[in-house]
């Protein structure tokens, strides 16, 4: 194999790296002969120079093959959804049990927080006892018995991606279209899926802030996935406001429980969740069209079947058996809770959504280094979306903090993130575009 530094230099200078060299580099990353510094340098070279389609496919395949590739024998289709990352994006927590309640099987392999975005794995980590990294036998068993299992990457599944993922998080290379494509698809291909639906975010809280960037990423993922034999559809969705009114870890689990049980169903979150779920049911052959699929998902919510599946998944993976009845007892709560009142009447004209995500990290709800611990209790709730009518004194958000100093910093960040105006902004639809092969 070529020396890692030679491969890095080739890509740094804009050259094409052979598939065999990419495979050898990924193998070295997995076994440890490629250092963290070399992986970071490779990621930065890819960030600036990009990968060709052939290089992208080679990287995805090498990362997929760095560990076990699952095969399933189930009476229904094996389906998954993945988001490119946003703020208040708790969709996976609700959607997996909804699809399972409609006859799909969802072995969802999720990641930690990345950059300013929250990670599904970190959110589930706020549930006491929940085993987010079970062995493969338990993962298979829970998926088969319950219909879904949301876990993190185990040592067996795409281990090269797990290492590179943590390095990207702290080296300013999160937004690389090529690395995002390979990271997402290596995990999904390793999970042995029959169909995948992508939620590609665009706007102030997304990695792909411009819609053209989001379209490029969606097209890249659909193209590479279809080339690998995985039926895939992508939706481009709005992230110019937090999707849910909660951003954090335990606060997003609580939000999910409110959504599933019907205590609160905010329109934008509900629209995105239903649209993604409908595409999953159609891709999996469980419904003829998205209208039929949407009706089935609504029925799964209204009947309580989706809520029951979520509770069974939590219990089967080691969490409390009464998460629905006693969520307030089980989920950690921050000692300092403070509202941030608006200083003027008007409408929320715009939201610097990324800055709200960074505020959560500042509270301790995310990482600045791979080894950092997460504080599961902190976060933001009651977040207003662009277009919301607000009166002076009404809260823009509520801060959940570990201490007063952290709350002070978060309050300043929240105030700076919101712009209030006398004129309402134009409505932005939650679903912006659909891309299929």
Query: What are 355-413's pLDDT values in tens digits?
Result: 999 999 999 998 766 677 889 999 999 999 999 999 999 999 999 999 999 999 999 99
Residue of 56, 82, 231, 367 with catalytic role: 82
How many domains, in total, are found in the chain? Answer: 3
**Mean pLDDT, residues 83-94:** 92
Residue of 60, 66, 110, 120 with catalytic role: 120
Residue of 83, 110, 143, 173 with catalytic role: 83
Residues 6+ away with beta carbon under 8 Å from 397? 339, 340, 356, 380, 381, 382, 383, 384, 414
Is the pLDDT confidence value at 113 over 70?
no
Residue of 162, 187, 201, 296 with catalytic role: 187
Is the pLDDT confidence value at 1 over 70?
no
- The structure tokens listed for 191 are 């999970």
According to the model, what pLDDT value does residue 154 have?
76
Q: Indicate whether 169 and 295 sit together in one domain.
A: yes
Q: Indicate whether 83 and 155 sit together in one domain.
A: yes
Q: Is 201 an annotated catalytic residue?
A: no
Q: Indicate whether 337 and 312 sit together in one domain.
A: no
Q: Are 201 and 207 in contact (CB under 8 A)?
A: yes
Q: Indicate whether 11 and 121 sit together in one domain.
A: no
According to the model, what pLDDT value does residue 369 have?
67
Residue of 30, 61, 64, 80 with catalytic role: 80
Q: Indicate whether 339 and 315 sit together in one domain.
A: no
- Domain-embedded: residue 65: no
Query: What are 277-333's pLDDT values in tens digits?
Result: 999 999 999 999 999 999 999 999 999 999 999 999 999 999 999 999 999 999 999
Instruction: Give me the helices (H) in 147-239, please.
Output: 159-169, 177-190, 211-227
Q: Indicate whether 182 and 310 sit together in one domain.
A: yes
- Domain-embedded: residue 163: yes
Domain that holds residue 303: 79-327
According to the model, what pLDDT value does residue 222 have?
94
Q: Is 188 an annotated catalytic residue?
A: yes
Is the pLDDT confidence value at 99 over 70?
yes
Angstrom distance (rounded) from CA 109 to CA 79: 11
Q: Is 187 an annotated catalytic residue?
A: yes
Query: What are 218-233's pLDDT values in tens digits?
Result: 999 998 898 788 999 9
Q: In what order do the strands lie in the sheet with 418-421?
A: 389-390, 346-351, 418-421
Is the pLDDT confidence value at 144 over 70?
yes
Q: Is 83 an annotated catalytic residue?
A: yes
Cα 399–chain centre separation? 22
- Domain-embedded: residue 363: yes
Closest by Cα among 289, 149, 287, 283 to 222? 283
**Residue 177 sits in a domain of what CATH number?**
3.40.1030.10
Residue of 11, 61, 81, 162 with catalytic role: 81
Q: Indicate whether 96 and 31 sit together in one domain.
A: no
Q: Are 343 and 175 in contact (CB under 8 A)?
A: no
Is the pLDDT confidence value at 334 over 80?
yes
Is the pLDDT confidence value at 34 over 70?
yes
Give the 3-state secondary structure of residue 192. coil
Q: Is 204 an annotated catalytic residue?
A: no
Angstrom distance (rounded) from CA 369 to CA 379: 19
- Domain-embedded: residue 57: no
The DSSP element (H or E) to which 16 belongs, if any, is none
Residue of 188, 296, 312, 384 with catalytic role: 188
- Domain-embedded: residue 345: yes
Which of 300, 327, 354 is the C-terminal boundary of a domain? 327
Residue 335 main-chain phi, psi, to 5 deg = -75, -25
Q: Is 11 an annotated catalytic residue?
A: no
Is the pLDDT confidence value at 263 over 80?
yes
Q: Indicate whether 247 and 111 sit together in one domain.
A: yes
Q: Is 82 an annotated catalytic residue?
A: yes
**Residue 352 sits in a domain of what CATH number?**
3.90.1170.30
- Domain-embedded: residue 430: no
- Domain-embedded: residue 432: no
């Amino acid at each position: 194999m070529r020396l890692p530094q030679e491969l890095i230099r080739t890509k740094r200078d804009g050259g094409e790296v052979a598939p065999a060299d990419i495979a050898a580099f990924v193998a070295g990353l997995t076994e440890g002969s490629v250092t963290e510094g070399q992986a970071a340098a490779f990621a930065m070279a890819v960030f600036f120079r990009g990968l060709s389609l052939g290089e992208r496919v080679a990287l995805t395949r090498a990362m997929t093959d760095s560990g076990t590739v699952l095969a399933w024998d189930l009476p229904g289709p094996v389906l998954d959804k993945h988001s490119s990352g946003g703020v208040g994006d708790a969709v996976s927590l609700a959607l997996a049990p909804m699809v399972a309640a409609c006859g799909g099987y969802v072995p969802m392999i999720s990641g930690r927080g990345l950059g300013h975005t929250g990670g599904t794995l970190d959110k589930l980590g706020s549930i006491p006892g929940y085993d987010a990294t079970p062995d493969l036998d338990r993962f298979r068993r829970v998926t088969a018995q319950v219909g879904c299992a949301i876990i993190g990457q185990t040592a067996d599944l795409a281990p090269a991606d797990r290492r590179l993922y943590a390095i990207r998080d702290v080296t300013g290379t999160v937004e690389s279209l090529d690395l995002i494509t390979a990271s997402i698809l290596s995990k999904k291909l390793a999970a042995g899926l029959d169909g995948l639906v992508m939620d590609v975010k665009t706007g102030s809280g997304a990695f792909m802030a411009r819609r053209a960037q989001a379209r490029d990423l969606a097209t890249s993922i659909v193209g590479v996935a279809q080339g690998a034999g995985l039926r895939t559809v992508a939706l481009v969705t709005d992230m110019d406001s937090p999707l849910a009114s909660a951003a954090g870890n335990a606060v997003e689990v609580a939000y999910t429980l409110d959504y599933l049980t019907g205590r609160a169903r905010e329109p934008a979150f509900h629209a995105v969740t239903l649209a993604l779920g409908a595409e999953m049911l159609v891709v999996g052959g469980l419904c003829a069209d998205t209208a039929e699929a949407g009706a089935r998902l609504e029925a799964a919510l209204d009947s309580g079947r989706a809520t029951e599946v979520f509770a069974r998944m939590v219990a089967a993976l080691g969490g409390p058996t009464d998460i629905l009845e006693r969520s307030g007892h089980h989920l950690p709560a921050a000692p300092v809770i403070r509202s941030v009142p608006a200083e003027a009447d008007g409408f929320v004209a715009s939201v610097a959504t990324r800055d709200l995500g960074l505020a959560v990290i500042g509270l301790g709800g995310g990482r600045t280094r791979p080894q950092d611990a997460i504080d599961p209790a902190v976060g933001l709730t009651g977040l207003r979306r662009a277009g919301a009518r607000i009166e002076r004194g009404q809260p823009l958000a509520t801060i959940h903090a570990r201490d007063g100093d952290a709350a002070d910093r978060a309050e300043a960040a929240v105030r700076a993130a919101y712009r209030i105006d006398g004129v309402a902004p134009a409505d932005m639809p939650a679903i912006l575009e659909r891309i299929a092969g």
